[in-house]
Chains A and B, each alone.
Chain A
Amino acid sequence: MRGVLLAIVLGVSLSAYDAAHLQKALEDKECIGCDLRGADLSKNDFSGADFHGSDLSNADLHESLFEMGDLNDCNLSGANVEKALFWKGTMKHSDLSHIRARGANFKGTNLSGSNLSFSDFRGTKSWKANFTNALFNKTDFSDAELGDAKFIHNDLRSSKLTKTLLWRTHFSDVMMTKAQCAHAKKEEALLGANVMCY
């Protein structure tokens, strides 16, 4: 009985979005500093929308478009963004931990200073994305495309870079494993200053 109650309480807290905020997001295609926890924003066109400072934790954004969108300072932890497009958007200083992003496209997106720990970036396309000062802890980039992306001041040692495309990917002031460094060189990545291979 306690278990059921706990599950109900947790369920409510995970999807306790503000209905008025959800309506605003869907109608105006923008919502600044909104409570959209667990909200369903999937398969929508939010191109150019401004969601900065919003709580989108555990929200469903799969297959939505956020081209040139502003998702700075957002909480997207645990969100489902599979097959969503974030082309040339900004997601600076956002919490993307535990995010499910398989097949999503972050081409030209600025993710500097964001937390991507425990996130699933398998098969994503992040050409020319900026990961400066981003936090990686067991982030899975298997089969992802990171060509011409920028990694500055990161620790990638616990992350997976299996079969990751790293053509002309820029690394500087980065900590990587020896295997990651070897893979990066094979992929013709650009290893700049202070790339430490452990």
Chain B
Amino acid sequence: MKKLLVLIVFMSSLLHAAAIQSDKEFQQAVAKMGKDNKLVLMIYTTDDCPECAYMKHKVFHDKTVAPFLNSHFIVMEKNVHRNQLPDGFDYFGIPTMFFIDKTGTKKETIVGSKRAREFLSELHRIRGIK
């Protein structure tokens, strides 16, 4: 019984990991990393979300944020109304940003927008726990 339970947990963890790993955009993001040990920043958006637009057009391109973001993260976007969402990445509010390593393991989640300085500080923290 105990062995069966362990097997079920193991199999479900494989299924969970396979879900994000089978995502084409995630695969492309990992391919872009090459040998670099970057994290994927997956942002959930909608068309009608000013906070998402602020993050994408303002914060990600901020002159203090962009160099660090591009050096340590690969950004990918999922529109929750138009794209299929990977299993295990549920959201409560929009935008939600997931930080994922190349094996598909979720390292951190941020809900809502952040100003550039605060976001950069979060990126440094998350980079630190990588």
Q: What residues of chain A have their CB less than 8 Å away from a CB belonging to chain B?
A: 87, 107, 125, 127-128, 145, 147-148, 165, 167-168
Q: Closest chain A residue to B113 by CB distance?
A: A145
Interface residue? B91 (CB, 8 A): no
Contact B115–A127 (Cβ < 8 Å): no
Contacts of A168 in B (CB 8 A): 50, 53-54
Q: How many whole Å from A141's CB to the nearest CB in chain B?
A: 15
Residues of B within 8 A of A167 (CB): 50, 54, 58
Summarize A's interface: helix, strand, loop or mixed.
Answer: loop
- Give the interface size bracket for B toward A: under 10
The reply to whether B112 and A148 contact each other, CB–CB distance below 8 Å, is no
Q: Is the CB of B115 within 8 A of A147?
A: no
Residues in chain B within 8 A of chain A (CB atoms): 50-51, 53-54, 58, 93, 112-113, 115
Q: How far is the CB of A68 from chain B (nearest CB, A)?
A: 13
- B50–A165 contact, CB under 8 A? no
Which chain A residues border B112 with CB–CB below 8 Å?
125
Query: Distance (Å) between the CB of A38 and the closest chain B CB?
Result: 30
B92 to chain A: closest residue by CB: A85
Q: Is the CB of B51 within 8 A of A165?
A: no
List 21 A-B pairs, Cβ < 8 Å: A87-B93, A107-B51, A125-B112, A125-B113, A127-B50, A127-B51, A127-B113, A128-B50, A145-B113, A147-B50, A147-B51, A147-B54, A147-B113, A148-B50, A165-B115, A167-B50, A167-B54, A167-B58, A168-B50, A168-B53, A168-B54
- Top 9 closest A-B pairs, CB basis? A148-B50, A127-B51, A147-B50, A127-B50, A167-B54, A147-B54, A128-B50, A167-B58, A168-B50
Task: Using A87-B93, A147-B50, A167-B54 as known contacts, list a sample of 6 further A-B pairs with CB atoms less than 8 Å apart, ordered by residue number in A.
Answer: A125-B112, A147-B113, A165-B115, A167-B50, A167-B58, A168-B50
Bound form: Cα–Cα A168–B50 in Å = 9
How many angstroms from the CA of A147 to the CA of B58 in the assembled complex?
12
* Complexed CA–CA distance, A195 and B113 (Å): 28
CA distance A148 to B51 in the complex (A): 9
Bound Cα distance A127, B55 (Å): 13
Q: Which residues of B are found within 8 Å of A165, using beta-carbon distances?
A: 115
B118 to chain A, nearest CB (A): 11
